[in-house]
Amino acid sequence: MPTVRIILVAALGASLFTADGGSIRLQPDPVERGTLRLHYVQKPIGYEKYEIVRDGDVLTLTSDFDFTDRGGRVQLAATLRTKADYTPLSFKATGKSYRFVNVDSDVRIDGSDAIVKADGTESRVPLSAPFYTVDGYAPFAAQMLLLRYWKQHGQPHLIRTVPGLPVNDVIVEPRGREAIKIGSTVVRLERYAIDGVVWGREAVWLDEHGALAAAITRAGGLSFEAVREDLEPALVGFVQRATLDRLADLEGITRRTRLLKSGTYAMTGATIVDGTGRPAMPDGVVIVRDGRIAEVGPRASVTIPADVPQVAVDGKTIIPGLWDMHTHVTQVEWAPVYLAAGVTTVRDMGNEFEFITALRDAIASKKALGPRIVAAGLIDGGGPNAFGVYYAATVDEAKAAVAKYHDAGFQQIKIYSLVTPPIVEAICAEAHRLGMTVTGHIPAGMTIEQAAAAGMDHIAHLGIRGEAGSDEVNKTIAFLKDHKTVIDPTQSWNELLGHAVGTPVAAFQPGILKVPAPLTRVFSNAGAAGIDAATARTRLERGLRIVKALHDAGVPIVAGTDEGVPGHSVHREIELYVEAGLTPMEALQAATIVSARAMKMDGELGTIERGKRADLVVLNANPLDKISNIRSVRWTISDGRVYDAKTLWQSVRFQP
C-alpha cells in the first residue's frame, strides 16, 4: 500500500537517504519488523526489536537487543546480511548478550570460506553448505532466519555455524505444530528444538509466516525467554510446552544410556573412602542391593553371598556420591553431566518453577537419569530490580510464597537480595514452621550477622568482608558458629569470573577443554578486565583464607558452584578447599556428608555406610593422594544404577 510507505518514509526521515554513485536513492522499506519481549526466569526485562529490509537479492536484518537485569543494562547490536534464500553473507554483533558474556563477532563469507573476526583474532574458516552465522542465543531474530535457512535448504540434519572454534554444529529438530489462543485470536505455530546455538536444546516457535513467536533458552546459566509482544499472555504456556519437550529429550538420553549394572551386585577390590573421616580402606567390598548399600567393609570381613554378581574394581577408589550445593539446573543436559562428574545430588538455588519441579519428579520416578534434586525456592523483594517472579513485600505475601514452594515439595527457601529485614524474618518463621530451612543472599542493607539472626540457616556465597584473622572477621565467624550457619562459598565461581582476562581458563580449570563450543565461547570471554594475574590470585586467596577460618571454627562449608563449567566446577570447588588448607578428606566431606547434613538428609546420604542409598563414585585414582584425582570419574552409581561417565559426557556433546 503506497500510502503506508509514504508515512513510513516521512516518519523515519532523512536517514533513509544515502549517496549512491552520485545520485540519491531511497533505501528499501522494511519488509518485516518484530518486537520480542525478553524475560529472565520469566520476569520481563527488556526487548529485542528487529527489522529486515530487502535490497535486490540481499536481505539485511538489524536487531537491537536490550535488557536490564537486576539493575545492569545489557545491549547487543547485530546486523545479518543474507541472500534471498537466507544464505548468510555477513554477520556482525557487538555488545553483550548477558552480564558477563561479551560479544564481538564479525563474519564475512568469502567464496567457500568464512573470514571470522572474533574476540580480537581473525581466521579464515573453510565452510561447506549447509552453514550459518550465529553467535549465541542473541539476537533471536538471527535464529529465526537460521530456521528459515534450514527450511529453504531441505531441512539438513546438521548446520555448521561460525564463529565456533572453528565451527560449531547446530541441529534443528521439528517438534510439532500447535495453536494458541490469545483472547479471540488463534495463532498457529510450529515448534522446533535447536541444539548447539547454546549448549543444549532451545525451544523456538515460528508462526505461519515464519516469524518468531517465542523462544526459550538459557543465559548466564538461567532460563531466558523471548515472546512476541502480542503473545505475552502465553508465556507460561510456552514454558510448560518446552518443559515437556526437554523431559522427553532427557527420557530419550536415559533410554539410550546403557546401565552397566543395577539391582544386586558387589564391587570388590577398590580402596574405599567412606566419607565418615575414617582412613581409606584398601581392598574393600561394597554390596549394593536394590538401590541401597547392603554391606561395606574390607574383603577379609565381608561375606559375599554366592548369588551376588561380583564386579572387580581393583586399583580404583570408591567415594560417596558428590553434591553440588549451589546450582540452577535450567536445562536437562545438566542431568547426564552431573552424573558424569560424580555428582548424585544437587541443591537447585532458583529456577523456572514449572521446569525444576517437573525435572525433579522425572528423576525421582526414575523415568529420567540425573542427580536427585533438592530444591530451594527463590523469593525476592519485588520492584524493577527484582529477580524472578516470586516476590514478598508484606508478611502475607511472604507466607503465600513460602506455602507455594512448600506445597510443591521444595525443602528450602532462597531469599534474594531485595527482601527487606522484617520480611526476611517473616519468611524464615513461616519456612521453619513448615519444616523447611532458609538459604540465600545477604539481603541489601543487612549484614551476614543480621541475616543469620533473622533466621537464615544458610548463606549463599562468601559474604564476609575483611581479612581472616582480624578481630572483626573472628567476631563474625564466632557469631555464625553460634547460629550453626552453613556457608556455600562458591569459590570456583569467583575464580572463573575473577581471574585476569589474560589468564586462560584452562590454567586453573582443565575441564574447559572438554566442553561443547558454545560454552567455550561463553567462558573464553569471562574474567575480570583491568587486573593482572597476581591481583586476581590475591583476591581469591583472601576468600580461601576465610573459608579455612570458617572451617577451623566449625562453621559447615558446603561445596557449591553456582554452575560454572558444568560438572567440572564441582571438582574445582573441592580442589580450592584443599588450596585453602582443608585436608583432601575434609574437602571431600564438604561435597558429601557435610552437605547431606546441612539438608538433614545424612540419614540416607553422604557416606558409604550400610543402609544408606547407593550413591557412589568409582574413581580411577585416589583423591586423598592428590585432590585433582577427584576428576578421574570412571563410573557413577546413582541409587544403585551404574553409569559409565564417558558415555554420559558424550550424550550431551562434552568430551569425556
Q: Please, what is the minimum distance in Å from the beta carbon of residue 562 to Zn ion?
A: 4
User: Per-residue x/- marks for Zn ion, 538-567, CB under 5 A?
Assistant: ------------------------x-----
Least spacing, CB of residue 460 vs Zn ion, in Å: 7
**Nearest-CA neighbor of 220 among 461, 517, 519?**
519
Strand spans (E) along 357-426 = 372-379, 412-415
The one-letter code for the residue type at 486 is: V
Cell 578486565, residue located: 529
Under a CB-based contact definition with an 8 Å cutoff, are residues 30 and 23 in contact?
Answer: no
**Residue number with CB closer to Zn ion (131 or 387):** 387
CB neighbour class for 14 (10 Å; exposed up to 12, middle 13-18, buried from 19)? exposed
Q: Does 195 bind Zn ion (CB under 5 A)?
A: no
Residue 493 beta carbon to Zn ion: minimum distance, rounded to whole angstroms: 8
Q: How far is the CB of 497 from Zn ion (least distance, A)?
A: 12
Coil vs helix vs strand at 111: coil
Residue 356 Cβ, how far from Zn ion at the closest point, in Å?
A: 13
Handedness of CA 128, 102, 217, 372 (dihedral sign): positive
Q: Which is nearer to Zn ion, 414 or 499 (CB)?
A: 414
- Of 274 and 333, which CB lies nearer to Zn ion in the complex structure? 333
Nearer residue to Zn ion within complex by CB, 492 or 622: 492
CB of 441 to Zn ion, least distance (A): 9
Sign, Cα dihedral of 640, 641, 646, 651: negative
Tell me how far apart the alpha carbons of residues 153 and 614 are, in angstroms, rounded to a whole number.
50
Helices (H), 177-234: none
Shortest CB 349 distance to Zn ion, Å: 5
Dihedral sign from CA coordinates of 458, 459, 460, 466: negative
3-state helix, strand, coil in the chain (%, to 5): 30, 35, 35
CA atoms within 13 A on the CB side of 41: 24
Does 48 sit near Zn ion (CB under 5 A)? Answer: no
CA 97 – CA 498 distance, rounded (Å): 19
Q: Which of residues 444-473 bind Zn ion (CB under 5 A)?
A: none
Residue 387 vs 635, nearer CB to Zn ion: 387
Distance CA 417, CA 412 (A): 16
148 vs 414, beta carbon nearer Zn ion: 414
- How far is CA 243 from each of CA 67, 253, 357, 369, 496, rounded to the nearest angstrom? 24, 15, 10, 16, 29
Return the number of the residue (105 or 490) whose C-beta is nearest Zn ion.
Answer: 490
Number of H helices, E strands in the chain: 16, 32
How far apart are CB 327 and Zn ion at their closest, in Å?
7
Strands 372-379 and 343-348: parallel
CA count, 13 A, side-chain hemisphere, 144: 31
Number of neighbours of residue 421 by Cβ within 10 angstroms: 15
List 317's β-bridge partners, or say none: 271, 619
Q: How far is the CB of 89 from Zn ion (least distance, A)?
A: 40
| Contact positions with Zn ion (CB under 5 A) in 340-359 | 349
- Regarding 615 and contact with Zn ion (CB under 5 A), the answer is no
The smaller minimum CB distance to Zn ion, of residues 498 and 640, is found at 498
- Which residue has its beta carbon closest to Zn ion? 562
Q: What is the dihedral of CA 545, 323, 441, 47, to 10 degrees?
A: 120
For Zn ion, the closer of residues 160 and 414 by Cβ is 414
**Minimum CB separation from Zn ion for residue 461, in Å?**
8
Least CB distance to Zn ion at residue 417 (A): 12
Least gap, CB of 564 to Zn ion (angstroms)? 10
CB 652 within 8 A of CB 336: yes
Nearer to Zn ion, 329 or 618 (CB): 329
Nearer to Zn ion (CB atom), residue 275 or residue 350: 350
Residues that contact Zn ion, how many (by CB under 5 A): 2
What residue type is 451 in one-letter code? A
**Closer of 220 and 291 to Zn ion (Cβ):** 220
Subset of residues 262 to 281 that bind Zn ion, contact rule: CB under 5 A: none
Residues that bind Zn ion (CB under 5 A): 349, 562
